[in-house]
Amino acid sequence: MIRGLLTGSGISAEDLPRVFDRFWRAEKSRSRHTSGSGLGLAIVRKLAEAHGGTAEAVSTLGRGSVYTLRLPHGLPDLLDAPVAGQGAAGAPGSTPRACRRGDAVEV
CB 51 within 8 A of CB 71: yes
Question: How far from chain centre, in Å, is Cα 55?
Answer: 7
Phi, psi values for residue 74, rounded to 5°: -115, -5
Please state the pTM of the whole predicted model: 0.60
Set out the domains of the chain in order of their start, with CATH numbers.
1-72 (3.30.565.10), 74-107 (no CATH)
Q: In sequence order, which residues have a C-beta less than 8 Å from that of residue 78 and are 6 or more positions away?
A: 98
- Residues in the chain predicted with pLDDT less than 50, given as ranges, are 75, 77-79, 86-92, 94-97, 105-107
- In the prediction, which pLDDT does 107 show? 41
What one-letter code names the amino acid at 55? A
- In the prediction, which pLDDT does 72 show? 85
DSSP for 12-50, written as a single string: -TTTGGGTTSTT--SSTT--TTTS--S-HHHHHHHHHHH
